[in-house]
Amino acid sequence: MLPLENSDSPFKDVFSNAHEVTAETKENRTIYTQVFEIDNGIEKRCINHWHTLCNLPASDNAVYICGWQDITETRDLINALEVEKNKAIKATVAKSQFLATMSHEIRTPISSIMGFLELLSGSGLSKEQRVEAISLAYATGQSLLGLIGEILDVDKIESGNYQLQPQWVDIPTLVQNTCHSFGAIAASKSIALSCSSTFPDHYLVKIDPQAFKQVLSNLLSNALKFTTEGAVKITTSLVHIDDNHAVIKMTIMDSGSGLSQEEQQQLFKRYSQTSAGRQQTGSGLGLMICKELIKNMQGDLSLESHPGIGTTFTITIPVEISQQVATVEAKAEHPITLPEKLSILIADDHPTNRLLLKRQLNLLGYDVDEATDGVQALHKVSMQHYDLLITDVNMPNMDGFELTRKLREQNSSLPIWGLTANAQANEREKGLSCGMNLCLFKPLTLDVLKTHLSQLHQVAHIAPQYRHLDIEALKNNTANDLQLMQEILMTFQHETHKDLPAAFQALEAGDNRTFHQCIHRIHGAANILNLQKLINISHQLEITPVSDDSKPEILQLLNSVKEHIAELDQEIAVFCQKND
């Protein structure tokens, strides 16, 4: 055993100064403590050592009592807590900074929109002034949406949820189209906006087109925002590395206010804005997003700027190249063809949202029905035919996700679009996974509605001819005997065309017994042919007590039966004509 003060003893540090404090503890009867590390040959452990002088009972002599406590885990826990505490403090500071910045940036455009609306509510504006106010309010609303979009993009990038989706892209066309979309802004400021490319013909590059376009749009928007006169120029080139690889080089040059060296150092930091930028609406996140997106694409973003002269941003991104025909290119604009007639149900608990969407769809020439929640929407779908359901995803009683799941469980092929104010990717994935055809971000513009409605029209052209007739069930019940199938359908038509008018007459005459007999026959015939919608409506009629209070509801249901039978008549006619 080594002496405790030996240089090789793990306790040498404890006793190296023990003699110095012995006199003090003897005189003052104090407890001496010290914390030190010892190396046990495997790892270093943190030890708390204490000793003190203790008088023995019935003796004038005293002894030293000492102890050791291994506090390694306790120390590590305290250190970890300190780290987390510092993180929490930093997060609180960042949150306060975020709220302070965003409250200002969001309140500014909202105040502007409210001011324009107040002007529009008056009667003193000329037609030109009203058009100008509406245009400016709309542009301000778009900038507010862009601001919120930037906040969401930062969240996705920093959480690692931003996934690039590389595709074969015609870069010159994509750049040209993006540049063209800013033409009106440039013209309104009398700025010369030009776009040139030295890309070789027929070359495609593999890149995420949305991420690339977002970077270009952000830089181009900034260039136009901070340029009051002169020009903004975009140049694009391709630097070959080998037959399959190259580097895209793009510059965005403006003759704007320029940046000082101090501003350049702060430019790519979160919420950073230049002195000129603080006079404009913005989040201070745009350039940070550009930097991170280009970094994710293994590229680089640099700038050169001189106050009073202008700024040039240079982007370089390594890419794969190909001379094949593009599978996905920047899409040329084609005339949008909309379906001529659609019956659309919208479900939303917010009256303003319903009114706006209804007016937009009415403007496009469509009939619109409304539901205030998923329960009401589910009932309406069971009672009549719709060509499209547009539902908010967050509603009381039954939300849009649950509504979609229930409709799909009923084997409904009704096209369903979900609407959400949450632009997170997992919200969209949740909507699609429960059976929605689309999950769209609010608010819907007329252009977005037109685009998706035109695609719905294309789907309608290849949809089955029979929306309501269950031909497969009919085949199974008749051993595929076409003549028997036609006889059953014709008999169904004949009987329902007798029972339905009789039901209307009985209801009017107050003959409840005859009324229920007619409805019961219709319900039975619907069951035989597996006509689900007619089954649901007739069942509702059977269980609804007839009274003066319920008559309006019953009449509405009877009219739904009448409309539905008219649709069945058309399908039966098509079936019989095809199988003559």
Q: How many domains does the chain have?
A: 5
In a domain, 7, yes or no: no
pLDDT at position 325: 46
Q: Which one has a higher pLDDT value, 276 or 344?
A: 344
Q: Last residue of some domain: 70, 94, 119?
A: 70
- The answer to whether residues 424 and 373 belong to one domain is yes
In a domain, 2, yes or no: no
- The answer to whether residues 225 and 189 belong to one domain is yes
In a domain, 338, yes or no: no
- Give me the mean pLDDT over the 545-556 stretch: 88
The reported pTM is 0.49
- The answer to whether residues 437 and 558 belong to one domain is no
In a domain, 5, yes or no: no
The structure tokens listed for 423 are 């632009």
CB-based contacts of 423: which residues, under 8 Å, 6+ apart? 148, 149, 152, 441
Question: What is the C-alpha to C-alpha distance for residues 226 and 223, in angstroms, rounded to an integer?
Answer: 6
Q: Last residue of some domain: 142, 159, 176?
A: 159
- Give me the mean pLDDT over the 29-34 stretch: 75
Question: Do strands 245-254 and 310-322 pair parallel, antiparallel, or not at all (unpaired)?
Answer: antiparallel
Which of 145-159, 319-333, 413-427 is modeled with the greatest confidence? 413-427
pLDDT at 104 over 50: yes
- The answer to whether residues 177 and 307 belong to one domain is yes
In a domain, 333, yes or no: no
- The answer to whether residues 304 and 204 belong to one domain is yes
Q: Which domain holds residue 520?
A: 471-578
Band (pLDDT 50/70/90 cuts) for residue 35 is: confident
Band (pLDDT 50/70/90 cuts) for residue 2 is: very low
- The answer to whether residues 417 and 275 belong to one domain is no
Q: What is the CA radius of gyration of the chain?
A: 37
In a domain, 465, yes or no: no
Could you report how far apart the first and last alpha carbons of the chain are, in Å?
A: 110
Band (pLDDT 50/70/90 cuts) for residue 375 is: very high
**Among 384, 486, 390, which residue's Cα sits nearest to residue 431?**
390
Q: Last residue of some domain: 44, 70, 96?
A: 70
Domain holding 423: CATH number? 3.40.50.2300
Residues facing 391 on adjacent strands: 347, 418
**Among 271, 184, 274, 166, which residue's Cα sits nearest to residue 220?**
184
Domain holding 133: CATH number? 1.10.287.130
- Give me the mean pLDDT over the 367-393 stretch: 90
- The answer to whether residues 171 and 300 belong to one domain is yes
pLDDT at position 105: 59
Report pLDDT digits (tens) over 187-204. 878 899 999 999 887 788
- The answer to whether residues 411 and 441 belong to one domain is yes
- Give me the mean pLDDT over the 41-65 stretch: 78
Torsion-angle region of residue 200: left (phi > 0), alpha (psi -120 to 50) or beta?
beta
Domain holding 173: CATH number? 3.30.565.10
pLDDT at position 428: 75
pLDDT at 376 over 70: yes
Contact 329, 177 (CB under 8 A): no
Q: What is the 3-state secondary structure (H, E, C) of 66-133?
A: EEEEECHHHHHHHHHHHHHHHHHHHHHHHHHHHHHHHHHHHHHHHHHHHHHHHHHHCCCCCHHHHHHH
**Among 191, 198, 247, which residue's Cα sits nearest to residue 220?**
191
- The answer to whether residues 115 and 219 belong to one domain is no
Question: Do strands 231-240 and 192-197 pair parallel, antiparallel, or not at all (unpaired)?
Answer: parallel
- The answer to whether residues 487 and 446 belong to one domain is no
Report pLDDT digits (tens) over 241-289. 888 889 999 999 999 888 888 777 767 665 444 444 444 444 445 677 7
- The answer to whether residues 404 and 443 belong to one domain is yes
In a domain, 1, yes or no: no
- The answer to whether residues 89 and 146 belong to one domain is yes
pLDDT at position 151: 62
Contact 279, 250 (CB under 8 A): no
Domain holding 535: CATH number? 1.20.120.160
In a domain, 4, yes or no: no
